[in-house]
Structure 1
Amino acid sequence: MNPLNPSLVAAKENLLTLLAQKAYRYGDFSLASGKKSSHYVNCKPVSLSGSGLFLISSLFLKQINEGDSAVAGLTLGADPLVSGVVMLASQSGIDLSGLIVRKEAKGYGTGAWLEGPLPPKGSVITVLEDVVTTGGSSLKAVERLRTQGYLVNKVLAIVDREEGGVDAMSKADLDLNSLFFLKEIVERAKSL
């Protein structure tokens, strides 16, 4: 595999192994959604590593539509994802901006909710997410972007825990495309 141009199959296989090794834990956890779970996935050890971010960005960039003006996501989980995809897009000759959606409006200056080079109102933006459980974080980002006059039709996630995120996205007229389901990561972790 050429590290600068991985095949999609090889990239997915390598990323799945990285997630199983470095992001997945089995135990007793409370999730951001408020739910309890025996399975926990924290993608940051992977998305904040050079090789992990490159694999994620490569796989996400393949799913960005040609007409999209930007990718965006809710801080903190989406920060490296947005940065990685935008950098890889630039290296590939694709004009794509990155936006970070704050959890609260900036408490000073302009009071902005969005950080980054703002595209014109009406532009299409794809939201990036690390892990989707119920979809709450993604929907917060989508709501902020739509309130600012942007069109959001799709959310790209690294992992879908399959706990209601697809339904929540569908009700908000969004497609959820995930690189992996939790069960795939659990299976890979058991095989390592």
Structure 2
Amino acid sequence: MRRVCVFCGSSFGARPAYTEAARALGRLLVDRELELVYGGGNVGLMGVIADEVLAAGGRAIGVIPDSMVTREVAHTGLTELHVVDSMHARKALMAELSDGFIAMPGGIGTLDELFEVWTWSQIGIHAKPLGFLDVEGYYTHLQVFLDHVAAEGFMRARHRTMVAVEADPVGLLSAMGGFEAPETIWDHEVGKR
């Protein structure tokens, strides 16, 4: 991996641990010589991780829709800031620029972004590693639900396990480094890919 896309909240959340995790992940990315790709905002956890990467001498690349430049207060001090015309274009460009994806604590936008790249991986559009940074159990209930989805037959076991889940950034990057692309959703025996 050369660049890691981090999906995270445009707010700070209820616990100081979320901000500390954003700082720790930002420093770790620079330590590992990985560039940050993210949503381009200067607010919440988005601003925290970008500022930490820049303060540590790393590269931070933002991608933000023009309609959100004011609402999310686009970060003007980034290494690169791409202003695009839609949320679809934002997600597509972040995916194109990145070699792996991490979801930190965040809201439905964060979940939307990770689930979309997870779906793309499942159907074979890319084979890039994915992970949840489960700060203080933030994603515990979601993991239980995803296990339920798999148990109910709506997700195959190999697709359920294709996303790493770790409580600390070091463990998560390590788990993502061992990523192997699973087979796509389509069965080989039916001749589909």
TM-score range, shorter chain: 0.3 to 0.5
Greater fraction strand: 1
More relative contact order, 1 or 2 (CA 8 Å, 6+ apart): 2
Report the TM-score, using the length of structure 1 for normalisation: 0.42
Q: TM-score normalised to the size of structure 2?
A: 0.41
Q: Which has the higher helix share?
A: 2
